[in-house]
């Protein structure tokens, strides 16, 4: 069993800890955070060992009646691997502690690329992380792009990719980011996402632009990909993408017209925290004109990086290869299981004679 310490128990850390708990080869050694708030109290209810960021925080937890098992340093001592899901910049500060103790670390996309030995996406460059001391899982938008571009590149060669990322203004709890009543080019020029995707797909010519909009509901990406060797029609592209468990086709035919409908899918599915771990690819949007393929995909910013974090843990500990790890992760979480298109229900519906 791999003992995983989760440092930072916010949007991403909570979800990674829950996903670790669902794997047959991992166990949560504990979670660490800074303040003794409702999230700490609720974690305590599930018997998750809680650690405080430092000695001062230990005292604050104690005064709030929440017992801790020590500090981040104690958790790192007791873990085989650390997933650091602290706010951008804090991971870079913690990195020294992980290096000093020789504990492999999985950091997040809010950190700069040089925070870790290698940036990581389980579909694009799993092997590059094998045995690394530290890896950085790409951010939510970049994870979505890498998952899409890797299979297209393998099948047809990606000559160039251009994407506009319509980005949610903040997560549901980030009230300090709003209310925002605007539509903002963010940044005004090219966004950093392209450089991050090139960290895991170095040969892909990609450019990205971002627009921030007043919602907490998902990111929506428009992606335009020029292919070296395009197939005869868009159906072939659909077939290629349909083979990817982490790309989930969603269709207007099933009443899914936008991100609000997708959030309702998450709620109806009774997945933990209504998470949609897959890229949500709007099936009707997939078009091919000459060598240019275009589509829309929506990304659940709070959860799409979760499967990648689980795979990153296996990559740095060297316990499974890419295919095995993705399969284990997907099966344990139920990735690819939602009936969001008639094709999916037809595929899994029992046929005459089935038991
Ligand atoms: N949210 C997203 O949409 C998203 C998507 C993909 C990647 N990411 C990346 O994931 C990382 C985490 O983001 P997030 O949104 O999950 O952040 P978050 O919700 O703000 O959570 C951060 C957590 O870190 C804890 N923390 C802060 N300083 C700490 C310290 N010194 N030691 C231990 N714990 C500490 C906080 O504790 P308290 O709550 O007690 O203060 C909180 O539990 C960032 O790099 C971000 O860019 C975020």
- 24 CB burial (10 A radius; 0-12, 13-18, 19+): exposed
Query: Any idea which residues carry the catalytic annotation?
Result: 140
CA 85 to ligand 1 center in whole angstroms: 5
Per-residue pLDDT, 355: 36
18 within a domain of the structure (yes/no): yes
Question: Are 236 and 113 contained in the same domain?
Answer: no
Please enumerate in sequence order all residues whose Cβ is within 8 A of that of 349, keeping only pairs 6 or more positions apart, or say none: none
The total number of structural domains that make up the chain: 2
Question: Are 49 and 99 contained in the same domain?
Answer: yes
Question: Are 322 and 221 contained in the same domain?
Answer: no
CB 302 within 8 A of CB 275: yes
344 within a domain of the structure (yes/no): no
Question: Are 52 and 117 contained in the same domain?
Answer: yes
With a 6 A CB cut-off, is 134 part of the ligand 1 pocket?
A: no
Please choose from 17, 34, 51, 140 the residue to mutate so as to test ligand 1's pocket, defined by most ligand atoms within 8 A of CB: 34
Distance CA 98, CA 296 (A): 39
293 within a domain of the structure (yes/no): yes
With a 6 A CB cut-off, is 8 part of the ligand 1 pocket?
A: yes
Give helix 140-156 / helix 193-200 axis angle, nearest 10°.
50
Question: Are 101 and 240 contained in the same domain?
Answer: no
Q: What does the block give as tokens for 186?
A: 């963010």
CB 183 within 8 A of CB 215: no
DSSP string across 161-225: EEEEEEEESS-TT-GGG----S-EESSSS--THHHHHHHHSTT--EEEEEEEES-SS-EEEEEEE
With a 6 A CB cut-off, is 303 part of the ligand 1 pocket?
A: no
Per-residue pLDDT, 343: 77
Q: How confident is the model at residue 74 (pLDDT cuts 50, 70, 90)?
A: very high
Please enumerate in sequence order all residues whose Cβ is within 8 A of that of 16, keeping only pairs 6 or more positions apart, or say none: 6, 83, 85, 306, 309, 310
Question: Are 325 and 192 contained in the same domain?
Answer: no
pLDDT above 70 coverage of the chain, percent? 97
Question: Are 271 and 253 contained in the same domain?
Answer: yes
Per-residue pLDDT, 354: 41
Apex 111 CA angle, 107 and 115, nearest 5: 70
Per-residue pLDDT, 32: 98
Q: Which domain holds residue 278?
A: 140-304
Distance CA 99, CA 316 (A): 14
Distance CA 309, CA 112 (A): 17
- Within the chain, residue ranges assigned H as helices are 11-21, 38-45, 55-63, 72-78, 90-101, 140-156, 193-200, 234-242, 259-269, 305-317, 322-333, 342-348
340 within a domain of the structure (yes/no): no
For residue 345, whether the previous peptide bond is cis, meaning omega lies within 30 degrees of 0, is no
Rg (CA), the chain: 20
Question: Are 119 and 263 contained in the same domain?
Answer: no
* C-alpha torsion 17→81→314→46, nearest 10: -20
**What secondary structure letter does DSSP report for 350?**
P
Phi, psi of 87 (to 5 degrees): -60, 155
Per-residue pLDDT, 179: 72
pLDDT tens, residue by residue, 99-143: 999 999 999 999 999 999 999 999 999 999 998 999 999 999 999
Please choose from 19, 60, 85, 305 the residue to mutate so as to test ligand 1's pocket, defined by most ligand atoms within 8 A of CB: 85
Average pLDDT value over all residues in the chain: 95
Phi, psi of 154 (to 5 degrees): -65, -40
Per-residue pLDDT, 347: 56
Q: Is the pLDDT of residue 287 over 60?
A: yes
Q: Quick check: helix, strand or coil at residue 81?
A: strand
Question: Are 167 and 226 contained in the same domain?
Answer: yes
CA 8 to ligand 1 center in whole angstroms: 5
Report which of 328, 227, 351, 201 is spatially closest to residue 286, judged by C-alpha positions. 227
User: CA dist 294 to 2, 114, 130, 223, 343, Å?
Assistant: 41, 32, 33, 6, 21
């Amino acid at each position: 069993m791999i003992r995983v310490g989760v440092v930072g128990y916010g949007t991403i850390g909570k979800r990674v800890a829950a996903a670790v708990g669902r794997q047959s080869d991992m166990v949560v050694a504990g979670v660490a955070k800074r303040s003794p708030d409702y999230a700490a109290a609720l974690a305590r209810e599930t018997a998750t060992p809680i650690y405080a960021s430092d000695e001062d925080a230990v005292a604050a937890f104690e005064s709030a009646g929440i017992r801790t098992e020590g500090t981040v340093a104690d958790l790192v001592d007791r873990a085989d691997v650390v997933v650091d899901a602290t706010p951008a910049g804090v991971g870079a500060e913690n990195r020294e502690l992980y290096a000093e103790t020789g504990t492999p670390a999985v950091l997040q996309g809010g950190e700069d690329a040089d925070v870790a030995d290698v940036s990581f996406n389980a579909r694009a460059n799993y092997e590059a992380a094998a045995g690394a001391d530290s890896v950085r899982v790409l951010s939510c938008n970049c994870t979505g792009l890498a998952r899409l571009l890797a299979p297209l590149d393998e099948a047809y060669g990606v000559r160039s990719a251009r994407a506009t990322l319509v980005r949610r203004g903040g997560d549901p709890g980030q009230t300090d980011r709003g209310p925002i009543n605007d539509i903002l080019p963010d940044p005004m020029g090219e966004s950093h996402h392209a450089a991050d995707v090139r960290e895991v797909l170095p040969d892909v010519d990609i450019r990205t632009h971002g627009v921030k909009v007043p919602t907490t509901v998902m990111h929506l990406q428009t992606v335009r990909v020029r292919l070296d060797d395009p197939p005869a029609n868009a159906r072939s592209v659909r077939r290629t993408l349909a083979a990817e468990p982490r790309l989930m086709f969603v269709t207007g035919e099933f009443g899914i017209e936008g991100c609000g409908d997708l959030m309702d899918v998450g709620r109806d599915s009774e997945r933990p925290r209504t998470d949609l771990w897959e890229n949500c690819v709007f099936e009707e949007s997939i078009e091919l004109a000459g060598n240019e393929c275009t589509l829309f995909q929506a990304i659940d910013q709070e959860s799409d990086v979760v499967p990648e974090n689980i795979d990153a843990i296996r990559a740095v500990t060297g316990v499974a290869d890419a295919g095995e790890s993705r399969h284990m992760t997907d099966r344990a979480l139920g990735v690819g299981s939602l009936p969001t298109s008639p094709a999916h229900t037809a595929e899994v519906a029992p046929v005459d004679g089935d038991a």
